[in-house]
A and B are shown apart, each in its own frame.
Chain A
Amino acid sequence: MIRVVLPAHLRLLARAGNEVQVEVEGKATIASVLDAMEAQYPMLRGTIRDHVTHQRRPFVRFFACGEDWSHEAPGTPLPDAVASGAEPLLLVGAIAGG
């Protein structure tokens, strides 16, 4: 079980609490976690990454265990602490805009 913390807007959209929990088959990576989360919460499709290219939206960042994972390849295994559920994967919206 992997824990994911969503930004406030996406929490509201998914009608979820502070954290969502997803099960991932195989290795826990950014890509597999997002695949599982979008299957569980279809309304999030397209809000974190592009529908077709799966490229991260520019104003969304990924953090794990205090590290910025935004520029890691989406298939890179996440830290064990995230894979085990001890630490959450953080999806963060940029502090920007008007």
Chain B
Amino acid sequence: MSQVRVLVGTKKGAFVLTSDGKRENWEIAGPHFAGWEIYHMKGSPADPNRLYASQSTGWFGQLIQRSSDGGKSWEPVDNKFVYDGVPGTHQWYDGTPHPWEFKRVWHIEPSLTDPDTAYAGVEDAAIFRTTNGGKSWQELAGLRGHGSGPHWQPGAGGMCLHTLILDPSDPQRIFIAISAAGAFRTDDGGVTWKPINQGLRSSHIPDPTAEVGHCVHHIAMHPSHPGVLFMQKHWDVMRSDDAGDSWREVSGNLPTDFGFAIDVHAHEPETIFVVPIKSDSEHFPLEGKLRVYRSRTGGEEWEPLTKGLPQRDCYVNVLRDAMAVDTLDSCGVYFGTTGGQVYASADGGDSWNAIVRDLPAVLSVEVQTLA
């Protein structure tokens, strides 16, 4: 009997939600690391019981926790993230140079093949890698050092590397995204990187089509189509059919194309999900109606999904790493809100249920489909 495990990072701890393949009854375990912010938690595809969690607070800084039993028990591993060499400066909000300072880990992406290898996307933006299960972390400094780093600026949430996608067809290729620098790709395992922002247009920056400086909120990819990327930018939903070399807007009939989360259906590479948010100054759904929008055409044509979601007086946000899918035959879709609800659909988005309602603000949601 298959099982689904949903890993929920919140502002005040981590929760592990489990259910059988029917996804009707859920067991809630947690909070783990009560009182700490859990920006992200993710399992290894090579060993689903190996989990990594990013734990932090403003008081005591960053910790990385590791589990070898699917989240029942945890042990702290190395939390030393030191930039390679002299880190230099990026731009501060006012355009002045500001020294690179490590603040936290936003996203941990375990290797597709080795449970002891994982990548960490951090603030101030950089990528680190462990090859020993988190006992030590080394920066892949080619990203920060490729030349445009001094021009990167923080978004409202800080200058964070929040998206990290490993290409299943090419172990040397990694995609990342930084707010507010944009998307980058390496084709040599992280030694060298190039910005992949051609086609993005951001009217709020001095040069709307600049090579870097775009506030990319999130990117999603279907593993069977690794050259096709979907992006929720600050404003605009975008797609690329050439691994990020060029992008085109596919916002189509969305009622607003601002948002954070975006994901792809597990079995339909052209079916994508977003949660439109009213605007950059009003981070909640339009008209108080929480609606996921689904496109079955890879963008442009979107339909609202509302069954089971609150359609009045709803003013939560859905953050960039707070949406995920399972890989059961009928694809499950999950997202968490800043109001503490985790919603699940066991039918590809047609209908939704809150599987838990009153958690702390949800920062991230990841899903593991277990045999």
Inside 8 A of B17's CB, which chain A residues have their CB?
none
Kindly state the interface size class of chain A when it binds its partner: 10 to 19
A-B contact count (CB 8 A): 44
Instruction: Label chain A's interface by main secondary structure.
Output: loop
B79 within 8 A of A: yes
B61 engages A46 (CB within 8 Å): yes
A47 engages B60 (CB within 8 Å): yes
Contact mask B34-48 → A, CB, 8 Å, 1/0? 011000000000000
Instruction: Label chain B's interface by main secondary structure.
Output: loop
A57 engages B63 (CB within 8 Å): no
Q: Which of A49-98 contact B (CB under 8 A)?
A: 51-52, 57, 59-60, 93-94, 96-97
* Nearest CB on A from B159, distance (A): 19
A59 engages B58 (CB within 8 Å): yes
Inside 8 A of B288's CB, which chain A residues have their CB?
none
Kindly state the interface size class of chain B when it binds its partner: 10 to 19
Q: Which of A12-48 contact B (CB under 8 A)?
A: 13, 43, 45-48
A43: nearest chain-B partner, CB-CB: B76
**CA separation between A51 and B60, bound complex, in Å?**
12
Inside 8 A of B80's CB, which chain A residues have their CB?
45-46, 51
Interface residues of A (CB under 8 A from B): 7, 9-10, 13, 43, 45-48, 51-52, 57, 59-60, 93-94, 96-97
In the complex, the 10 A-B pairs of residues with the closest C-beta atoms, listed nearest first: A47-B60, A43-B76, A59-B59, A93-B59, A51-B80, A46-B79, A46-B61, A47-B61, A97-B58, A59-B58
Interface residues of B (CB under 8 A from A): 35-36, 57-63, 76, 79-80, 82
